[in-house]
Amino acid sequence: MFIQVDSLSKTFISHHQKTKVLNDVSLAIPQGSIYGIIGRSGAGKSTLLRCLNGLERADTGRVFFQKKDLMSLSQKDLRQARHDMGMIFQNFQLLKRRTALENVLLPLEFFKHSQQESLSKARKCLNIVGLSEKEQAYPSQLSGGQAQRVAIARALALETKVLLCDEPTSALDPKTSKDILSLLMTLNQTLGLTIVFITHDLSIVRDICTHVAVMEKGEILESGNVESVFSSPKTALTRDYVQSLFNSRVPQIIKERLSENASSKTSEVAFRLVFSGRNSQKPVISDLAQELGISVSIAGGALDHLGHSTYGTLVITVPHEKETCSQVKSYLEARQINVELLGYLA
Ligand SMILES: Nc1ncnc2c1ncn2[C@@H]1O[C@H](COP(=O)(O)OP(=O)(O)OP(=O)(O)O)[C@@H](O)[C@H]1O
Ligand SMILES: [Mg+2]
């Protein structure tokens, strides 16, 4: 494994109070992956990320990078290992008094590369992130997206094999955020860069990550390839995440007509169907209509895809006839679709 985290634990002590921030965390990050780490604020994501490059030392456990045990390396060897890892942050962390080019030169100077070589490497990296024309600009003269590009160039300046990203797009507008994400995907594909990406935004995980780990209270609840984690979430937090990603709103026009109980005026019944990954390729709704001989209307919802799996919700209505309700429910549930009776429509 490219990066292997084994049973990492870390407790912070401040004001005589102990906080266990990492509790027996294990993680396997394959080379070339884009590995998302999600979890609520305070879950320990940033601490874990800092343990990966030795900025933070865990109390117990091991981090292996390219089979080398980071915890047992000498300061000199640790510096070399850090050479292979770049990091970017939400607030860019550029030096204000240095130009874009001088910011990118920083790690090269730190690792004492020759001046000539440093300059050509720094320019090459600025070119990769599409910012050659801004090399003399100061951070205050750059937009957020440009500043993050400089930070990426700086992170790439050494022979970087891993890019550690701590919410690098959360301070950016949606369009700029998309541009940065697509730059990261390009770097992943063209340079074979392995990326570890902390985010609160599950749509980012869906759009760019190959793997994901869900963290809560210092523990990894589940981890693995995105499709398998999302298609069979094992914990309530992951289920919440997946549901929030795939909107489950009932259209207003249906809401207004809904009543809890059937009456003599009831003509239709409304259901909400939740697709959570399996049953993807089959035309379930048309099969339902054909096999039960009923007409099914789709009133709203949104379906989305992750790999070959379908996620999302559909609101459907069917005629209110004797037994239709229970038939529809059992037909869909047999196909692993979660069915909720929303109510009756007059
Ligand atoms: N240097 C420190 N000293 C004491 N406590 C710390 C320190 N760094 C982090 N913590 C505590 O560790 C816990 C986890 O912090 P961490 O920054 O890793 O969370 P996070 O998941 O990155 O949260 P967020 O999503 O808000 O960035 C928090 O309770 C935090 O207060
Ligand atoms: Mg954090």
pLDDT, tens only, 284-300: 888 999 999 999 999 88
- The Cα 230–Cα 246 span in angstroms is 11
CA of 15 to the centre of ligand 1 (A): 15
Among 33-37, 100-104, 190-194, 242-246, the least confident range: 242-246
- The Cα 21–Cα 63 span in angstroms is 16
- The Cα 106–Cα 100 span in angstroms is 10
In order of their start, the domains of the chain are 3-235 (3.40.50.300), 252-345 (3.30.70.260)
Neighbours of 234 (CB within 10 A): 11
Going by alpha carbons, the residue nearest to atom 25 of ligand 1 is 41
Sequence letter at residue 191: L
38-69 pLDDT, tens digit per residue, is 999 999 999 999 999 888 999 999 999 998 99
Inter-residue contact 346 to 261 (CB < 8 Å): no
CA of 5 to the centre of ligand 2 (A): 18
215 pLDDT band, cuts 50/70/90, is: very high
CA of 344 to the centre of ligand 1 (A): 48
- The Cα 11–Cα 265 span in angstroms is 63
241-261 pLDDT, tens digit per residue, is 877 776 666 778 888 888 888
Going by alpha carbons, the residue nearest to atom 28 of ligand 1 is 42
Provide residues with CB under 6 Å of ligand 1: 12, 14, 19, 21, 39, 41-47
Alpha helices in the chain (DSSP H): 45-52, 75-83, 100-110, 115-128, 144-156, 174-191, 202-208, 226-231, 236-245, 252-255, 284-292, 324-333
CA 336 to chain centre: 26
142 pLDDT band, cuts 50/70/90, is: very high
The atom number, within ligand 1, closest to the CA of 14 reads 4
Going by alpha carbons, the residue nearest to atom 29 of ligand 1 is 42
Give the residue from 149, 129, 84 showing the smallest Cα distance to 111.
Answer: 84
Inter-residue contact 206 to 245 (CB < 8 Å): yes
Q: Which residues are CB-contacts of 188 (< 8 A; sequence separation ≥ 6)?
A: 32, 34, 194, 195
- The Cα 196–Cα 248 span in angstroms is 30
Give the residue from 169, 106, 99, 88 showing the smallest Cα distance to 140.
Answer: 99
pLDDT at 325: 87
